[in-house]
Structure 1
């Protein structure tokens, strides 16, 4: 729509909003914390803006229990991925792709058992890929490329029997491919 400016903090007053899509605009600045208090929200899409903030550490603890779709890719978000994200148990789609997130992927990500698509590529994530990713039995697309992940590929990736797309390129992974990956063929 060509919208320019900041997202107003009052946007959280739309407490019965089910879907918020402000993608492909020119919003900049912070994501108002009030957005993460919208308890009826099922879709939050802020893709392709210039938003620059971190995500609240408690983003899924008090609300967002109905959230199924979170797409805030192609922004300038930074900081760590909050472990509380693992409490957004209804998530089916999660894209934090192409931001500046750093640190480890929280092990709590393995709690998102309804997740079908996970896009964390093009960030600055480090450490090992958490083995709890193997808990995501509905996962079809897993994109972790262009980060700074190190260590071996977890053998639990072989548990992802619905996986059709796996992107691990441009990381610092080492070791052999786990034999369990053969389960995906």
Structure 2
């Protein structure tokens, strides 16, 4: 829609919001923390904007327990991927691709057992792919391209029949 500016923190007042999709606009600045308090949210799509902030370290710890789709791709996020994403246990789709995220792929990602699609490509992630990813038995797509990962693929990944 060509929207520009920032998303006001009052977005958090929409307490019964189930889906928020502002894809492909020109929103910038930090993502309002109040978005991560919307406990009825099932879909959060902030992709293809200019958001520049860290993800909250406790992103799913207190709310977002109903979230099934989280897409914050093609922005300017930085910092590490929060391990607290494991508390979004209903996630089926998780995309943080094409940002400036760094650090390790959290081992806790292996706890998202309903996950079908995982996109972490196009960041600055380092280290090994954790063997815990092999616990994602519903995984159909795993995108880790264009990072600084090293080592070998854990053998556990090769037992995911749906991948």
Q: Is TM (by shorter chain) over 0.5? A: yes
TM-score range, shorter chain: over 0.9
TM-score (norm 2): 0.99
CA distances 1:4-58 after superposition (whole Å, capped 9, x unpaired): 0001111011010000001100000000000000000000001100000000000
Instruction: State the secondary structure of the residue aligned to 1:151.
Output: coil
CA distances 1:74-103 after superposition (whole Å, capped 9, x unpaired): 000000000000110000000001000000
Preserved contact between residue 57 and residue 84 of structure 1 (Cα < 8 Å): yes
Residue 183 of structure 1 aligns with which residue? none
Residue 82 of structure 2 aligns with which residue? 82
Larger radius of gyration: 1
Which consecutive residues of structure 2, in runs of 5 or more, have no partner in the other structure?
A: none
Structure 1 distance, partners of 2:105, 2:63, is 21
Instruction: State the secondary structure of the residue aligned to 2:2.
Output: coil
Structure 2 distance, partners of 1:162, 1:153, is 17
* Residue 55 (str. 1) matches residue 55 (str. 2): yes
Structure 1 distance, partners of 2:9, 2:40, is 17
Structure 1 distance, partners of 2:25, 2:146, is 25
Map of 1:110-125 to 2, 5 A cutoff?
Answer: 110-125=110-125
Structure 2 distance, partners of 1:40, 1:134, is 29
Map of 1:70-109 to 2, 5 A cutoff?
Answer: 70-109=70-109
Structure 2 distance, partners of 1:79, 1:16, is 30
Report deviation, 1:114. Answer: 0.3
Which consecutive residues of structure 1, in runs of 5 or more, have no partner in the other structure?
A: 164-185
Preserved contact between residue 117 and residue 141 of structure 1 (Cα < 8 Å): yes
Residue 136 of structure 1 aligns with which residue? 136
What's the RMSD between the two structures over aligned residues? 0.5
Instruction: State the secondary structure of the residue aligned to 2:94.
Output: strand
Residue 25 of structure 1 aligns with which residue? 25
Residue 8 of structure 1 aligns with which residue? 8
Q: Aligned residue pairs: how many? A: 163
TM-score (norm 1): 0.87
Structure 2 distance, partners of 1:29, 1:23, is 15
Structure 1 distance, partners of 2:57, 2:25, is 26
Residue 146 of structure 1 aligns with which residue? 146
Instruction: State the secondary structure of the residue aligned to 1:79.
Output: strand
Residue 166 of structure 1 aligns with which residue? none
